[in-house]
Structures are given as C-alpha cells and as structure tokens.
Amino acid sequence: MRVVVSGGSGFLGSHLCEVLLRRGDRVCCLDDFSSGRAANVGHLLGEPRFECAPCDVTERVRVTGEVDAVVHLASAASPRDYSRRPLQTLAAGSRGTENLLRLALRHQARFVLASTSEVYGDPEVHPQREDYWGHVNPIGPRSVYDEAKRFAEALSMAYRRSEGADVGIVRIFNTYGPRMRPHDGRVVSTFIRQALDGEELTIYGDGSQTRSFCYVDDLISGLLAMVDAHLPGPFNLGNPSERTVRELAELVLLITGSDRGLRFEPLPVDDPVRRRPDITRAREGLGWRPRVSLAEGLSRTVSWFAADSDTSGRPSQHLPVGRMS
C-alpha cells in the first residue's frame, strides 16, 4: 500500500512510518515540524519507498499519485504543546481532519483517525469503554485538545455516514517509548529526564491519580491492525494495567538508580483522577492486546534517553527534504 501519515515525524508517527516501511508499504510523511523532530525520520530518507514533505494539514493538502490509506496523527498531543498552540491544535482537529478526510475520499482510501483517551475527560465511568460519552470541561485549559479530538471523531463519522468514507477511529491512551521529547511535559518523559539529570521527580497532586501506560511498539501494532481493518470503531488502544503516578515515579527511580526522591506540586485544573481503558473491543475486533510490561518498556525507554544525543527535546528547525511523487 501507499500510506499517507500526517504528523509522521512525531513520536508515534515516526514509529508508524518505520513499521509500515518494514512490512513493505510505501509511506508519504506529512509534517509541519511544529512539535515533531526531523531526527525521528532522518534515517528513513534514503529509503526509496519513503517520501517526506513539509505540510501544514490545516491548509490544502496536496498529495499526487495513488493513496491507499491515510493515518491522521498531526496534532499537538502533550499539555505543554497544546497550551502553547491552542488555536493551531483546534485547527488540526477541525480543518486538518477534514482536509485529510477529503484526500482519503478522493482516492477511496482507508482513513484512520488517531483520537485520544482525553475524549473521556475526567471520567465518571471506570474503566472507560467506547460507549461512554465522557465528562469533559468544554471551556477549561485542556479543552482545546479534548474538544478538537471530539470534533474530529464527529466529523469522521459524518463523512462515513454521508459520503461513504472508509473511516476508522482509535482512542489512544498514555503511550511512551523512544523518541519522546524530554521536555514535552508528559509524565514518563519528565520523570526519566529528571532522574537522569539528577533532579527530584515532580509529582502533581499526591500521586494517587492513575494512568495506564502502553509501550509504543504495542500501540503501533494496534494502529496497523486498524489500518488493515475496515471497521469504524472507535477502539480503545492502551494498556489496561492501571498504575498510580507515584508508582510510576518510584519505578523510574529504581530503573535509573536515582536517589533524588520526589517533589510534590499542586494538581493542574481538570487533570483526570483515573484513567484505564477497557480493550475488549480491540481484542475481539482487531485481535490486539499489549504485550510489553511497564518495567520492560521503561527500561528500553531509559536506555534510549540516556543514549539520545539531542537532549534539548526542541522541535527541529531543519526540515528533512524528500521526494513527492
């Protein structure tokens, strides 16, 4: 297949591009590099089946040649990024989603929307199932991301119902692994960076809030299954093993050998108290389940952070140049 991946230089996007190439597909990576890193896909530029082009998906998306699938990952995803770029985040979820839906429709291609567990907000139902409508503050500081994704889901389903688009939606829960930016503000990358830098680990609240952490390789296998399926979803993709933030911090300290301890700060507004996916639908519909344990995944991620030469974590200002056929 030839697969268009928006946000292809980002954390998840770069892993998806790599795995698609590995299985024999052709990949067209689109990215404006506002939060992605050129280094994430630099090693792919010599691959003849890989194309990379600077593209803001909120503007008109031009891709020539055949397209068999479109995977829409382009969006700020960390609280630090979408707080810094609130209007751009809303635009990526609205105009960006529609531009890529139109691209898929023109080519009669499969369209996969990377949505998020944030559509559930601070959930009142636990664990979260796909038929739960969520508990979201539409005007809170996190709403630019939450509501952008909720709108993107509604738009995708409208295209499916009214235009016959082959649409699929996945809701991605907390994912971690190599190529996370050290300063992106996410809890795993923050804890690992602080531990390796000899700092105390910063916990917001008392650390009793829970998350479910999925290793990136597992998440990508679920995305691939959704690309190949012709099911609308939505499907939760995440690891149903629920951990407190304090447990995560203590595990990072153990793996890194840090003895700096923990520091507690006030909990941010609208931060979810509990988060765990029910993945029954994904198991039954996609044959998918996560396999990498948190301890193993964190060990791999710590090793990557320790070896990564670009510790700034800042988006690259140098765009890779590729072919567009």
Note the pLDDT of residue 79: 85
**Into how many domains does the chain fold?**
1
Is residue 62, in this structure, part of any structural domain at all? yes
Please give the pLDDT value at position 253.
97
Residue 163 in tokens: 């235009």
Task: Kindly give, in sequence order, each residue whose CB lies less than 8 Å from that of residue 140, ignoring residues fewer than 6 positions away.
Answer: 269, 270
Residue 244 confidence (pLDDT) = 96
In this predicted structure, the answer to whether residue 310 has a pLDDT above a threshold of 70 is no
Residue 11's pLDDT band (cuts 50, 70, 90) = very high
Q: For residue 272, what pLDDT band results from cuts at 50, 70 and 90?
A: confident
Task: Give, in degrees to the nearest 5, the angle at Cα 283 between 280 and 287.
Answer: 165
Is pLDDT above 70 for 273? yes
- The pLDDT score that the predictor gives to residue 314 is 42
Q: Which of 82, 145, 176, 215 is catalytic?
A: 145
Residue 98 sits at the vertex; the CA angle it makes with 323 and 47, to the nearest 5 degrees, is 20
Q: Round to the nearest angstrom and report the end-to-end CA distance of the chain.
A: 14
* Residue 166 maps to a domain: yes
Quick one: tokens of 64?
Answer: 């020539």
Asked whether residue 312 is domain-assigned, the answer is: no
Instruction: Measure the CA–CA gap between 50 and 24, rounded to whole angstroms.
Output: 11
Q: What pLDDT, on a 0 to 100 scale, did the predictor assign at position 318?
A: 40
What is the C-alpha separation between 6 and 72, in angstroms, rounded?
5
Q: Does a structural domain hold residue 319?
A: no
Asked whether the beta carbons of 38 and 320 are under 8 A apart, the reply is yes
Name the residue among 7, 22, 25, 21 with its Cα closest to residue 68.
25
Residue of 317, 310, 321 lying closest to 36 (CA atoms): 317
CA–CA dist 243, 234 (Å, integer)? 24
pLDDT at position 40 over 50:
yes
Whether 265 maps to a domain, the answer reads: no
Q: Is residue 252 part of a domain?
A: no
51 occurs within a structural domain: yes
- Would residue 82 show up in a list of annotated catalytic residues for this protein? no
Farthest-apart Cα atoms in the chain, separation: 58
Q: Is 309's pLDDT higher than 70?
A: no
- Taking 3-state DSSP, the helix, strand and coil percentages for the chain, each rounded to the nearest 5, stand at 40, 20, 45
> What's the mean pLDDT when you consider all of the chain?
93
- Contact, 198 vs 204, CB < 8 A? no
Q: Is the pTM of this model over 0.85?
A: yes
> Looking at residue 80, what is its pLDDT?
87
Q: Classify residue 69: in a domain, yes or no.
A: yes
Residue closest to 274 by CA, chosen among 74, 90, 132: 132
Whose tokens are 């995977």? That residue is 71
What CATH number is attached to the domain comprising 225? 3.40.50.720
* pLDDT for position 315: 40
Structural domain including 14 reads 2-177+214-240+277-290
Give the mean pLDDT of 163-182: 97
Quickly list DSSP for 46-103: T-TTEEEEE--TTS-----S--SEEEE--S--SHHHHHHSHHHHHHIIIIIHHHHHHH
